[in-house]
Amino acid sequence: MAVKYWRRPTAGRSAVHTKNGLVASSQPLASSAGVQMLKAGGNACDAVVAMAAVLNVVEPFSTGIGGDAFALLSIPGERTPIAINGSGFSPRNLTYDYLAVEEKLTSIPLTGILPITIPGAVSAWGMIHEKFGKLSWEEVLTPAINYAIDGYPVSPVISQVWDVLVSKLKLHEGAKENYLIDKERAPMPGEIFKQDSLGKTFQLLAKRGYRDFYEGELANRILGFLNNEGSAINAQDLSAYSAEWTEPISKVIYDHRLWEHGPNGQGLVTLQILAIAEELDIARYPLNSAEYLHILIEAKKLAFSDAFSYLADINHMKVDVNAFLSDKYAQTRASQINPNRALEKLPFALDMGEDTVYLTAIDKSGFAISFINSLYYGFGSGVVDPKTGIAFQNRGAGFTLEKGHPNQYKPRKRPYHTIIPAMITETSSNRLLHSFGVMGGHHQPIGQSQVFLNLVLHNMDAQHAIDSPRFHHDQLSNTVAFEEPISLQVRAQLHRLGHNVKDSVDANFGGGQIISVTENGSFIGGSDPRKDGQAQGF
């Protein structure tokens, strides 16, 4: 279920300025855990893993060890960032014919056992920590263990979202047992919530290491539960899984290089949107004017048209990614935008989830990580192991059952993924300027595009760039919604151009975090007021 309740408050926040290290996440307790790691002598890697683990506990509907993760890493002394793909595969024994022929499905369901793919997050956490961490694996997991076993006060925003998901949690016994008070209700704001089963799972992970999730005692517990529920995931699926180090994709936009994780993620869409916008010289128009927004909305439509037609597991794509990154592509797409009329016919759109966490960290050496972790929809598949407390993602619903499509379901394949960490570097030196991300399913590329332009064209600081009002366009309904203070006059102008303007009440404008690096080496952090997030440093 999509989350519709995060809104910008009327009061603003100040950007956080530090020099020894900075973290930003969607929940203050997680950010505090990240700073704790830095103060203990850890680095950005230790901080990110600690924050991701705490977020599994304190924002459990969005993220966790039953989900997937992607990251970009900027390493001092290295000219370009590196990437890691922690998204999981479909089970090798679950076939297309079973889904489409035997079960007569036209799409993979959002709940239940069928959309569960191999969780990749733990492998990504472990591989990042194994390669770069300074503190022990046990030390970085300790804050999450403590919050799970001792409990934590639930924040108002998280309580509100949790309450919306009660009906989904009641569909599964393990979900009711682990994530509802007396199997009936969500925790109230300020109520202390404990997760003993999840805490014990983290203790086992801390003791035995991350590979235990895939081929040890914990793997056996997971398989026992999933197989009892009817899952096709087997021991070979888990033991053979490993996150993968990859090369990020990038493009120079307005003299800044934007780095994204490549397919099966949708970072390519952000690069396409911005390349089209630059080709149409969006810089000549005032921020959030009708002309400015028209270009971005139309560029978004065209970029997603390609994404839904071609984007998939990189090993199954039929079109070279570089073709979409070329100047010729941007020129061709830009020529299809009418400055006086909105596109009305849109391609088929997949229904994508919106429950995700984005976090980022940088240490005093300048080592930075842009990291995003997700269960996809709220509490993922809605299937929870009562003994381990693990909520399993529903990423398999990101596949299509359309025969012959690059993203058609197949065994041992990664689905189309929405989560996309990003970085911006200087074009000449590749010096890191910003580590950032915007959450929110299909809002992520357009949210990132708007934040990128805020930083690069409009010279906003990290907090102002993330605060600034955004729009959201829904490809399926071809409607667009705007946050205040984008004016009624601008909305009316866009309506006259043919845009289907709708009320913002049930629209998703995402949430995000930014860490910026100044010329003198200090750091500036911003955290989205649409969520509980907080930037912290020392």
| Residue pair 352/36 in contact by the 8 Å Cβ criterion | no
Q: Which residue in the block uniquely carries the two structure tokens 């866009």?
A: 494
In this structure, what is the dihedral angle of CA atoms 214, 216, 220, 222, given to the nearest 10 degrees?
A: -40
Q: Do 132 and 43 form a contact (C-beta atoms < 8 A)?
A: yes
Element (DSSP H or E) covering residue 89: none
Q: Which residues pair with 251 in a beta bridge?
A: 258
Exposure string over 364-385, b if 16+ CB within 10 A, otherwise e: bebbbbbbbbbbbbbbbbbbbb
Separation between Cα atoms, residue 331 and residue 324, nearest integer Å? 11
54, 143 Cβ separation under 8 angstroms: yes
Decide: residue 150, CB within 10 A, 0-12 exposed, 13-18 middle, 19+ buried. Answer: exposed
Segment holding 481, helix H or strand E: strand 479-482
Angle among Cα 240, 245, 248 to the nearest 5 degrees reads 140
Catalytic residue among 18, 356, 360, 425: 356
Phi and psi dihedrals of 440, rounded to 5?
Answer: 125, 45
Query: How would you classify the pairing of strands 511-517 and 523-527?
Result: antiparallel
**How big is the chain by its Cα radius of gyration, in Å?**
22
Residue 170 C-beta-side C-alpha neighbours within 13 Å: 11
427 is catalytic: no
Task: Work out the number of other CB atoms within 10 angstroms of the CB of residue 101.
Answer: 10
Q: 10 Å Cβ neighbour count for 206?
A: 20
Question: Annotated catalytic sites, by residue?
Answer: 356
